[in-house]
Structure 1
Amino acid sequence: MPQGVALYVGAVLGTGLLVLPSLAAKAAGPASILAFLVLVLVSAPVAATFGALAGRHPDAGGPATFALRAFGPKTSAVTGWWFYFGTLAGMPAASAFGAAYVTELVGGGRTTTMALAAVLILIAIGVNVFGVHLSGRVQLVLTGFLTILLVGAVVLAAPKADTANLQPFAPHGFAGVATAISLLVWSFTGWETVTHLAPDFRKPKRDMPLATGISILIIGVLYLAVGGMTILVLGPRAGETQAPLAAMLGEGIGTSVRVVAAVIAVVVTLGVLNVFVASMAKLGAALGRDGALPRWLAKGSQSGDVPRRSLLVVTVGTAISFLVAILTGFELEQALRAENACLIGIYLVAMAAGVRLLPSGGKQRWLAVLATVLVFGVLVLAGWYLLFAAALALGALVYLKFSKHSGAGAAEER
């Protein structure tokens, strides 16, 4: 269970923490604190529903399995594709967050950042070659170190906080807050990732909800502390810096802290990549087993197995994503919002599955209903980026239609 908390915190308290407080401040000014608060409040019932579903239905498919049991193979395939391929598309962005801090320290441009980002992903892949149990122990160390660093950053910067920096509070009105929320969605995704690892918990029904509850508390406090302190310490400059944590620490210590900031960035990035690689590998095996991807991938979907075939596909897919990013010109914000649209779609399907699968009349069912309504409200903010999610959904349905190993047949086999 402690490893579960570490995996959750590492997945959700992710690389967005390195840059997104600045982008949110640019969009909404001090009112970006409201965006953080809204997403913390939305996350609580969403995370609780994921924990309850994973505890009752532990399977490497995660949300795709919830969708299969609630709505059938087509919805399951779409949900799986959203995570598997949507996350692959966003891997260069996720790793570039931390790599940018290191580039700031050692010097270099975009090429250096992309090369460092690739190295960070290769480390995460290397850890996962040995299975999720080693991955979980590594994550425990990374998350403990990260929590100490973040608390230290907030405490050191606190003496420089100035409430005058809260004015004007909402220079761009509600539209600015809405934009900040759509950007910060990335910072609050990750609850779905650990559900893919539920079968590897000793007692999923007990440990998953407990790990989720502890993680909600830790993540909510740290996000509000870092987001709020960024505004209070940096003021108008919060929306101008590309490294808000480094700038905040610099104000608190009064000297250059690029080394400390780079260490934090690397720890955060490795933590996120470690969890996402583990989850994607397990999911790919489950999708192969259920017919949403080639049957060749199915090996490794059972508890304790290492899905090395799926991990190979994740490695190749990530390499392709990097190549596309390099050839087309890397736009961080656009890549994030496209992946966010897929993740919000996963959340909406999973919450709706919770309404159908969790015991009627109980607290968990009502939390699932509330979470469904809240996630739908966030989905509307995705705008045109939903077209990317729609394209992946179409691809999943076309694959099912022409695949010999159909999703329905796989479901019957199970």
Structure 2
Amino acid sequence: MAELKKEITLLSGIGQMSTTLLGTGLFMVPAIAAGIAGEHSLWSWLVLLIAICPVALTFAMLGKQYPSAGGTAFFVRKAFSQRLEKSIAWLFLSVIPVGVPAAVTMGAGFLQPILPESMNHPLVAQVITVILLMVVNLSGAKVSGQVQTVIALSIVTLVASFWWFGDVSVSEITMPAVVSSDWFAIGTALSVMFWCFVGIEAFAHMGEEFKSPERDFPIAIIVGCLVAGVVYWACSVVVLKFHAYGTAEFDSGSIPYLANLLYGPKVQLLITLIGFATCFASINLYTQSLSRMLWAQARDYMPTSRLAELSGNGVPSYATLAVGAMLLLSCFIGEISQLDLEFFLKLANGVFVLIYLMAMLSACKLLTGTPKVLAYLSLVICVIMMACVGWSMLYALVLFAVLVYRIKPDQNTQSSDVPAI
């Protein structure tokens, strides 16, 4: 049976995890959260990091014991059945036409201003972004990890320079006093900030490609989450100090504003490149995860399909190209129809929350001892997240129900009841 190359080291794993969580969030969420809760948003980041730790630790324990390119779908199969496994697999793949193109559009928004005038068009920028994704992904997990590690270091350096040139003092990093009336604003900010930590479920698909998954995979998840949390908190301190929040312009432009304020307009190109790279890193891991999910399903249930083949450097090339083709098609449809990408992104978020929930349910059955206690705690957190998502959960729940009904429980590995790939 074909196997993926084990090329991911601890350092590159941390880089992939942290950049995926930072993504587009660094350029928007600190300012949005500050607009909601003011200086108390610093408490929101702390509460969020504490809340996400059980979920991250549970994913880490699952990945340590069951490293697989199938990710959550594989955990579900171990805990429950192949029927639920396939349902979760196709549910995850359903974000290709709705969630990832929206993220591609956001990343292309940074790229478009620096393209030549003849190429300065949103669709051209999106196509270039997808092509770059294919190039990096087809180069292998090692190259992809190295690229994302460099991006992670660039982000950390950027935020650290904000502190240095912004002359952040001890008094400005002191946590503000909290009274009972402040907790509502803190909680409201949390409902926005949670999406900064969507990405752990995608990273679960990379466990099979770690050189030492039992040792390095859980460390990469935990350290990556901590790095992302610290960077978000540190960025919020600067946003609050210079009052780069409170308007629609700051919601998407606080980082460029701070860079212009602290360094002058000469660094505008650098900030634009870092913005694109940050978005690219997040999309890159999802592209990897989706292609590996597609490959894992083909390997297990359609082994003669081309989607089950690996290239000479151990990359599921046909599965990767299939994901890329779907992304391009979705970008063209989105540009022609002018569909509301934010709406589709909300639908994708509902899918991610349901996947988190199913992963935690699997952990409750598969893990023992203290990890099992963490799994139950994480399950409660996921239920709360479902309530916060609200109506957007309907898409995920209805689609999941249809998939469970469509996939019959007695199918074998070659069953024709599996939805066609």
Q: TM over 0.5: same fold?
A: yes
Q: Structure 1 residue 12 and structure 2 residue 21: aligned?
A: yes
Which residue, 80, 103, 113 being the options, matches 1:94?
103
| Residues in 1 aligned to 2:326 and 2:134: alpha-carbon distance in whole angstroms | 12
Which residue, 306, 319, 322 being the options, matches 1:310?
319
Give a deviation string over 1:70-112, Cα, whole Å, max 9, x none: 121232223222322225421222123333234456799xx83
Which residue, 185, 192, 202 being the options, matches 1:183?
192
Which residue, 388, 401, 404 being the options, matches 1:397?
404
| Residues in 2 aligned to 1:121 and 1:101: alpha-carbon distance in whole angstroms | 14
Q: TM-score, normalised by structure 1?
A: 0.85
Indicate how the Cα distance of structure 1 residues 256 and 137 shifts in structure 2: closer, same or farther if over 3 A, else same: closer
| Residues in 2 aligned to 1:154 and 1:100: alpha-carbon distance in whole angstroms | 27
The number of equivalent residue pairs is 404
| Residues in 1 aligned to 2:340 and 2:171: alpha-carbon distance in whole angstroms | 33
Which secondary structure does the structure 2 equivalent of 1:334 belong to?
helix
Q: Structure 1 residue 369 and structure 2 residue 359: aligned?
A: no
Give a deviation string over 1:357-382, Cα, whole Å, max 9, x none: 11x22x32222222111121111101
Amino acid in the other structure paired with 2:390:
G
Structure 2: gaps (5+ residues): 1-9
Indicate how the Cα distance of structure 1 residues 125 and 392 shifts in structure 2: closer, same or farther if over 3 A, else same: farther
Indicate how the Cα distance of structure 1 residues 315 and 21 shifts in structure 2: closer, same or farther if over 3 A, else same: same
Q: Structure 1 residue 196 and structure 2 residue 194: aligned?
A: no
| Residues in 1 aligned to 2:134 and 2:64: alpha-carbon distance in whole angstroms | 27
| Residues in 1 aligned to 2:96 and 2:192: alpha-carbon distance in whole angstroms | 16
Give a deviation string over 1:245-266, Cα, whole Å, max 9, x none: 1112223235464223202112
Name the structure 1 match of 2:261. 251
Give a deviation string over 1:285-336, Cα, whole Å, max 9, x none: 1123344x89736514899732122112211221232133223435353333
Which residue, 255, 259, 282 being the options, matches 1:272?
282
Indicate how the Cα distance of structure 1 residues 307 and 99 shifts in structure 2: closer, same or farther if over 3 A, else same: same
Q: TM-score, normalised by structure 2?
A: 0.83
Name the structure 2 match of 1:55. 64
Q: Structure 1 residue 323 and structure 2 residue 307: aligned?
A: no
Indicate how the Cα distance of structure 1 residues 34 and 395 shifts in structure 2: closer, same or farther if over 3 A, else same: farther
Name the structure 2 match of 1:263. 273
Name the structure 2 match of 1:153. 162
Name the structure 1 match of 2:31. 22
- How high is the sequence identity, in percent, across the aligned residues? 25
Amino acid in the other structure paired with 2:75:
F
| Residues in 1 aligned to 2:227 and 2:151: alpha-carbon distance in whole angstroms | 15
Name the structure 1 match of 2:365. 356
Contact 1:182 1:337 in 2 (8 A): no
| Residues in 1 aligned to 2:170 and 2:249: alpha-carbon distance in whole angstroms | 18
State the shift of 1:7 in Å.
1.3
Contact 1:26 1:239 in 2 (8 A): no
Amino acid in the other structure paired with 2:316:
P
Contact 1:186 1:336 in 2 (8 A): no
Contact 2:162 2:238 in 1 (8 A): no
Amino acid in the other structure paired with 2:362:
A
Contact 2:15 2:149 in 1 (8 A): yes
Contact 1:341 1:379 in 2 (8 A): yes
| Residues in 2 aligned to 1:301 and 1:107: alpha-carbon distance in whole angstroms | 37
Amino acid in the other structure paired with 1:334:
F
Name the structure 1 match of 2:295. 285
Indicate how the Cα distance of structure 1 residues 392 and 303 shifts in structure 2: closer, same or farther if over 3 A, else same: farther
How large is the RMSD of aligned CA atoms in angstroms? Answer: 3.6
Amino acid in the other structure paired with 1:347:
Y
Contact 1:62 1:283 in 2 (8 A): yes
Q: Structure 1 residue 71 and structure 2 residue 80: aligned?
A: yes
Give a deviation string over 1:363-402, Cα, whole Å, max 9, x none: 3222222211112111110111012212431453355249
Structure 1: gaps (5+ residues): none
Amino acid in the other structure paired with 1:331:
D
| Residues in 1 aligned to 2:393 and 2:159: alpha-carbon distance in whole angstroms | 33
| Residues in 2 aligned to 1:329 and 1:41: alpha-carbon distance in whole angstroms | 39
State the shift of 1:268 in Å.
0.5
| Residues in 2 aligned to 1:130 and 1:76: alpha-carbon distance in whole angstroms | 29
| Residues in 1 aligned to 2:64 and 2:52: alpha-carbon distance in whole angstroms | 18
Name the structure 2 match of 1:139. 148
Amino acid in the other structure paired with 2:389:
A
Amino acid in the other structure paired with 1:371:
S
Indicate how the Cα distance of structure 1 residues 240 and 71 shifts in structure 2: closer, same or farther if over 3 A, else same: same
Name the structure 1 match of 2:3. none
